[in-house]
């Protein structure tokens, strides 16, 4: 009985160990996020189950043209290469003529789906092992027994190859052929590895698709206006620079550390912060003059006044013809010419004034507004058509910028619409604040911002960062249609004043300048004549 127990105990211990390791893989499969660590675990346990001295885990490349080394272990040679650290060339799956490569055992398993077991790789004619021999010679090693197993996903596609080499006898340590039991256990593990790989690949592909979708939207919004191309990318860059400095700060922000997920939230919110502009008419986004719609209506006014000039000339001609019939004196003719010449000159002067006001980026003075009102009261002497339409008059009287109150409301609504659009997306919990961050980039700490008039307590750190990045980029942008770019010095002055007025986070503003973000950004994005600091 004691002999039986003595033989049974090691077996039971071995079984318990294997069950424990299988349980560990199951837990890792359900909770693991590190694909490299999981694959390393799979290969390590497969080797222990089969008592293999070495092993390799290959993955099929994206184009399904070769097998890439992904994990490579060998106890005798003390090799423990993790994914990303292997520089060995991949195994080609096809020859140059596109014929399947069936001479390499791993490639053969990929094409056939068979499990291949070889007792001695030096004594088989089925496959070429020239590379294995060179490896052995270089490292004074002897590859002998081998088992090669395909890794299939849920669609039965082969996504990788598990190769184990040199099974060792537990008693003598000699190299022996792989047992059927070891082969079956390794195949089971290969199946689990396939599940992990497929799961992780789907997650990675979905994340890549999501990222590409976000960037595509950002680019489409940037390109919606020829004047704001690159704005979103620059705001995102600035936001991440600020967040990085906050994470490294050990004074004012020493208690604030944005996690990787929070950094992702900020980055994506920055990329999506102008999503609402997707519905904003392009001519409003790009409005560079007071009269611009889909075209600049100053040309309509110019054409109208040119017609009025023609009418004046015709009126002068008709009056002179009438006087000829009455045999009037020459001085009377000259008087008519003088009267209508003054009227035409006045018309031309008024056209120049309107043209200057239309394209001016400076705020309108009360004198100019009075001049516009005076012109607006005039009409053609012949047709009685007004010099200006009601809408033209309203637009020309815009005191600052190029937008009417209605157009500004349309522009401002993009922030609220951004949050509304983003709230329609099923964000994962770790990214759930993206809509509110993106939608709050025009809010002010004193509640004077828009669209929700949030105050300091309701604006989180990421939204504060995004707001400052958006303001800084807009102030010194070279491509805005409604204003010229500020110099770096002017931008610094405005931003500091906004911080001191508690419109934006003054601590972040101070960090922004103290850490030199403005200088670093300026060197990359501003023209030399803007950099005056």
The strand pair at 116-118 and 66-74 is best described as unpaired
Which residues are CB-contacts of 354 (< 8 A; sequence separation ≥ 6)? Answer: 298, 301, 372, 375, 396
The answer to whether residues 227 and 477 touch, using CB atoms and an 8 Å cutoff, is no
Q: 10 Å Cβ neighbour count for 516?
A: 12
Residue 219: the pLDDT is 84
Residue 511 zone, left/alpha/beta (φ > 0; ψ -120 to 50; rest): alpha
Q: CA–CA separation, 270 vs 438, rounded Å?
A: 6
**Measuring CA to CA, which residue among 360, 351, 353 is closest to residue 398?**
360
Q: Which residues contact 26 (CB under 8 A, 6 or more apart)?
A: none
Cβ–Cβ under 8 Å, residues 194 and 160? yes
Average pLDDT over residues 386-402: 93
Q: What are phi and psi of 216, to 5 degrees?
A: -65, -40
Would you call 400 helix, strand, or coil by DSSP?
A: coil
Under 8 Å CB-to-CB from 33, ≥6 apart: which residues? none
122: DSSP letter? G
Q: What is the pLDDT of residues 98-135, one digit of tens each?
A: 999 999 999 999 999 999 999 999 999 999 999 899 99
Q: Indicate the pLDDT class of residue 52, thresholds 50, 70 and 90.
A: very high
- 71-77 long-range Cβ contacts below 8 angstroms, 24+ apart: 71/39, 71/40, 71/43, 73/43, 73/44, 73/47, 74/141, 74/165, 75/47, 76/141, 76/166, 77/139, 77/141
Rounded distance, CA 30 to CA 23, Å? Answer: 11
- Choose the weakest-confidence range: 80-89, 150-159, 223-232, 459-468: 80-89
d(CA 150, CA 163): 9
Dist CA 207 CA 488 (whole Å):
37
Is it the case that residue 12 has pLDDT exceeding 80?
Answer: no
pTM higher than the cut 0.85:
no
**Residue 395 confidence class, pLDDT cut points 50, 70, 90:** very high
Question: ∠ at Cα 456 (454, 457), nearest 5°?
Answer: 90
- Considering the chain, what is the average pLDDT of its residues? 88
User: pLDDT digit string (tens) for 498-523?
Assistant: 999 999 999 999 999 999 999 999 99
Supply the Cα-derived Rg of the chain in whole angstroms. 38
Who's near 260: CB < 8 A, 6+ residues apart?
A: none
């Amino acid at each position: 009985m004691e002999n039986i127990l003595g033989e049974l105990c090691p077996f039971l211990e071995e079984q318990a160990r294997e069950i424990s390791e299988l349980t560990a893989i199951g837990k890792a499969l359900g909770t693991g996020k590190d694909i490299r660590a999981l694959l390393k675990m799979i290969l390590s346990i497969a080797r222990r189950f089969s008592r293999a001295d070495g092993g390799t885990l290959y993955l099929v490349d994206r184009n399904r043209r070769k097998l890439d080394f992904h994990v490579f272990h060998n106890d005798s040679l003390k090799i423990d290469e993790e994914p990303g650290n292997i520089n060995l060339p991949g195994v080609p799956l096809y020859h140059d003529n596109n014929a399947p490569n069936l001479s390499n055992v791993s490639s053969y398993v990929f094409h056939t789906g068979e499990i291949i077991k070889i007792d001695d790789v030096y004594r088989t004619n089925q496959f070429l092992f020239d590379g294995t021999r060179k490896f052995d010679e270089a490292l004074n090693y002897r590859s002998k027994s081998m088992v090669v197993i395909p890794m299939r996903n849920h669609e039965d596609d082969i996504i990788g190859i598990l190769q184990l080499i040199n099974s060792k006898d537990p008693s003598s340590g000699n190299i022996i052929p792989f047992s059927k039991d070891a082969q079956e256990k390794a195949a089971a593990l290969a199946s689990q590895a396939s599940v992990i790989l497929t799961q992780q690949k789907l997650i990675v592909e979905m994340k890549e698709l999501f990222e590409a979708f976000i960037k595509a939207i950002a680019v489409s919004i940037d390109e919606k206006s020829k004047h704001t191309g690159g704005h979103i990318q620059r705001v995102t860059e600035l936001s991440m620079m600020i967040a990085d400095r906050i994470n490294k700060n050990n004074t004012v922000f020493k208690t604030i550390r944005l996690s990787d997920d929070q950094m992702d939230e900020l980055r994506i919110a920055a990329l999506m912060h102008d999503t609402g502009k997707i519905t904003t008419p392009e001519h409003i986004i790009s409005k560079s003059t007071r009269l611009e719609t889909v075209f600049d209506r100053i040309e309509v006014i110019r054409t109208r006044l040119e017609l009025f000039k023609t009418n004046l000339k015709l009126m002068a001609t008709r009056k002179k013809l009438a006087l000829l019939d009455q045999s009037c004196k020459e001085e009377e003719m000259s008087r008519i010419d003088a009267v209508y010449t003054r009227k035409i000159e006045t018309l031309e002067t008024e056209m120049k004034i309107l043209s200057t006001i239309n394209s001016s980026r400076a705020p309108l003075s009360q004198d100019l507004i009075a001049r516009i009102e005076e012109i607006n009261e005039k009409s053609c002497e012949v047709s009685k058509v007004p010099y200006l339409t009601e809408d033209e008059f309203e637009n020309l009287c815009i005191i600052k910028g190029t937008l009417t109150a209605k157009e500004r409301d349309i522009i401002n609504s993009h922030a609220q619409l951004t949050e509304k659009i983003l709230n329609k997306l099923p964000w994962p919990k770790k990214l759930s604040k993206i809509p509110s961050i993106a939608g709050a980039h025009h809010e002010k700490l004193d509640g004077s911002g828009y669209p929700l008039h949030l105050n300091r307590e309701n604006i989180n750190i990421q939204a504060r960062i995004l707001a400052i990045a958006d303001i800084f980029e807009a102030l010194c942008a070279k491509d805005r249609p409604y204003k010229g770019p500020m110099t770096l010095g002017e931008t610094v002055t405005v931003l500091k004043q906004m911080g001191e007025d508690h419109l934006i986070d003054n601590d972040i503003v101070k960090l922004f300048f103290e850490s030199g973000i403005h200088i670093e950004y300026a060197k990359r994005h501003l023209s030399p004549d803007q950099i005056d600091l």
